[in-house]
Amino acid sequence: LSDILLVLLGGYFCGSIPFGLILAKLGGAGDVRSIGSGNIGATNVLRTGRKGLAAATLLCDILKGTAAVLIFGYFFGRDGGIFAGLGAFLGHLFPVWLNFKGGKGVATYIGVLLGLSWMALIAYAVVWFAVAAATRFSSLAALIACAVTPLVLWWLGLPREAVMFAVMTVLVFIMHRANIQRLLSGTESKIGQKA
C-alpha cells in the first residue's frame, strides 16, 4: 500500500506543474486564467494568439503524464506506472500550487495513455481529429475520444488500464461541465477562436 501511495504522490507532483500558466507568463502572454475560458490548458493558451506557446503547453502537459508513467513504471513495475499516471492526471486537475484549481486534464490524459498503450493513443488521436475536423470544437473532440478510450483499452486486453481510464474519463466530463453546457446552448468557441 505504501508503494501505491508513493507513486500516486510522485505522479501527482509531476502532473501538478501548471505548464500553460508558466509558459504563457514567461512568453509574455499574461495570465491565461483571465482570458477565454479561464482554463490553463493549451486550447485556452491558443486563444492568446500565441501558437508556439500553445504547442509548448500541449507538449509539456502531455509529457509530464508520460514521464510519470515511465519513471515510476521503471522502478515499481506496470502497476506503479498505472498509479503514477493517475496521480499525474489528478495533479494536473488539482494542483496544490494553485489552490487545487488546475486544468481539465485532456493533455495529461493523452500523455498517460502514451505511456501505457500507444495503440490506444492512436485510436484516441483518430477519434479526436475526426471530431475536431468535423466540428472545430476542442472540448467535444476530447470528450468523445475520452469516452471511447476505456472501451479500446478493454478491447486491447488491458482491463486495469481500462478501469483507471474510465475513472479519468468521468473526471474529464466533470471538469468540462461548463463546456458541455456551452456546447448544448451553441455558445462554445471553436479551435483558435478568440473567446
Judged by the rule CB under 6 A, the positions of this chain that interact with ligand G3P are 36-37, 39, 41, 43-44, 104, 106, 138-139, 142, 179
Task: Yes or no: say if 68 and 115 are a contact pair by the CB < 8 Å rule.
Answer: yes
Cβ-in-10-Å burial (0-12, 13-18, 19+) of 36 comes to middle
Minimum distance between the CB of residue 34 and ligand G3P, rounded to whole angstroms?
Answer: 13
Pick the closer one to ligand G3P by CB: 16 or 48. Answer: 48
Minimum distance between the CB of residue 39 and ligand G3P, rounded to whole angstroms?
Answer: 4
Residues 6+ apart with CB under 8 A from 113: 65, 120, 121, 124, 149, 165
> What's the residue count for the chain?
195
Pick the closer one to ligand G3P by CB: 57 or 179. Answer: 179
Pick the closer one to ligand G3P by CB: 142 or 158. Answer: 142
Pick the closer one to ligand G3P by CB: 58 or 63. Answer: 58
Looking at beta carbons, which pairs linking 36-45 to residues 24 or more positions away fall under 8 Å? Answer: 36/189, 36/194, 36/195, 37/178, 37/179, 37/189, 37/195, 39/103, 39/104, 40/98, 40/102, 40/103, 41/103, 41/104, 41/106, 41/107, 42/107, 43/106, 43/138, 43/139, 43/191, 44/20, 45/20
Minimum distance between the CB of residue 37 and ligand G3P, rounded to whole angstroms?
Answer: 3
Minimum distance between the CB of residue 46 and ligand G3P, rounded to whole angstroms?
Answer: 8
Minimum distance between the CB of residue 73 and ligand G3P, rounded to whole angstroms?
Answer: 26
Pick the closer one to ligand G3P by CB: 73 or 102. Answer: 102
Minimum distance between the CB of residue 80 and ligand G3P, rounded to whole angstroms?
Answer: 28
Q: How far is CA 141 from CA 91, 146, 179, 187, 191, in A?
A: 23, 9, 12, 16, 11
Pick the closer one to ligand G3P by CB: 63 or 176. Answer: 176
